[in-house]
Copies of this chain bind each other. A is one copy, B any other.
Amino acid sequence: MAGARGFERGFIADVLAPLASDPVARGLTDDAAVWTPPLGRDLVFTHDVLAAGVHFLGQDPPGDIAWKLLAVNLSDLAAMAAQPVGVLMGLGLSAAQDEAWRADFAAGLGRALVHFGVALWGGDTVTGLDRAVIGLTAIGTLLPGAATGRDGARPGDGLYVSGTIGDAGLGLAMAQGTLKAETALLKRYRLPMPRVALGRVLAGCATACMDVSDGLLIDAQRLAAASGVAIEIDLAAMPVSDAARRIAGDDDAGRLRLATSGDDYELLFTAPPGFDADAAALSGKVAVTRIGTVSAGMGLHLTGQAGPIALPARLGWEH
């Protein structure tokens, strides 16, 4: 943890170092981590940043923020079919992240690291910022050539998604106070569950894969563009939880709302005819639902309750 200017060395030694028990981390006292990679594996790297007021809310429980930080990065690894191994964290904090906040954050991070079997290898800390800005680099392993990119979808493939769509978007509205809070949906927003096991199952059979972070429709549109194909989604087939159906309604408008909210962190993927979704769901420990078809052409096309419908003006979190 070199360069931790402005931060208490005690926090690193007393709170973070106990989380970094892997010898690779060298007790967080050296300039860098040293790791002997496994033979015969490719390595996968991702780095996502969470900022207060952008990706989480200031009043979110600190332990949940730590979970989400790890989960969104592991979701990227899952989308590439990788097995997560280690992480480095850049922890930028403001005065609002007091000692109690930091302790809760570290405890949550420790639980998440244990849950996902991932080691904290190093990082950096800085205080005196105006808001918390926390980056994480996650490193995973992969059999050579097994990476599932976004560009492999082929006409005739089916389009599949894991879990249920739209719960986290409702959870965000609840966290913001614009919807009456329900614990299960709040949890879907604050504690996303990266589909690591499913991602590894898909290494052998998916033609393209990505995680749904900005909204099902916008992410499906990106997958179609990357693969140079058309994608047709049957809105009625989109998997929706009972709670989400009750709140959003089960008509086209309600389903479009769910399909354009973000933070699902489910896997969206394509697979050729003959793909056994039930077997993948069993091994991947999460439901897998066919929601559409890949065809020659380009762009995203939607089918509603009474046939084709126009794309909504907003497909998700646009950048």
Contacts and interface: CB of A to CB of B under 8 A. Distances in A.
Interface of A: 2-9, 12, 26, 29-37, 39, 42-49, 51, 53-55, 72, 75-77, 79-80, 82, 86, 88-90, 92, 121-126, 128-131, 133, 135, 137, 139-140, 142, 144, 147, 149-151, 210-211, 213-214, 226, 262, 317-319
A12 B319 CA distance: 10
A54 B124 contact: no
Contact of A214 (B5, B133, B214): B5
A51 B126 contact: yes
Given A49-B126, A121-B45, A139-B45, A317 B31 contact: no
How many of these chains are in the complex? 2
Contacts of A150: 29-31
Nearest to A146: B34
B46 A33 contact: yes
Contact of A319 (B7, B44, B88, B123): B7
A318 B48 CA distance: 29
A32 B44 contact: yes
Nearest to A76: B31
